[in-house]
Amino acid sequence: MTKFIQQLFSESGEASFSRLGAFIALAFACGWITYIVLHTHILPSLESLTLFIAALYGLGKANETLQRLFGSSK
């Protein structure tokens, strides 16, 4: 699939779960927020959603960093 969508736009050249998970969460969140705004005409608070997406991405990056520091299990 186009070399896993150019390795998921990764600067290291490898697709990572942190990028894919963050993208899926962001896409879902955009749809969910659009639905809420269209029905209530009020923009909800986005702090917790931002923290969730950042934490998901950060956990993946922390895992990659630990693998580089202590050696990969591959």
Give the ranges where the chain is alpha helix by DSSP (H).
Answer: 2-8, 17-40, 47-70
Question: Average pLDDT in the 50-71 region?
Answer: 82
pTM: predicted TM-score of the whole model, two decimal places: 0.58
* pLDDT score, position 39: 95
Cα 40 to Cα 26, 34, 35, 43: the distances in Å are 21, 10, 9, 8
If you search the block for the tokens 């736009």, which residue do you land on?
A: 9
Nearest-angstrom CA–CA distance, 16 and 6? 12
DSSP structural state of residue 15: -
E strands along 1-74, which residues? none
Residue 7: is its pLDDT beyond 80?
no
Q: For the segment 49-60, what is each residue's pLDDT rounded down to a tens digit?
A: 888 888 877 887
Residue 63 has which token pair? 């895992």
- Percentage of residues of the chain with pLDDT beyond 70: 74
Question: Average pLDDT in the 23-30 region?
Answer: 86
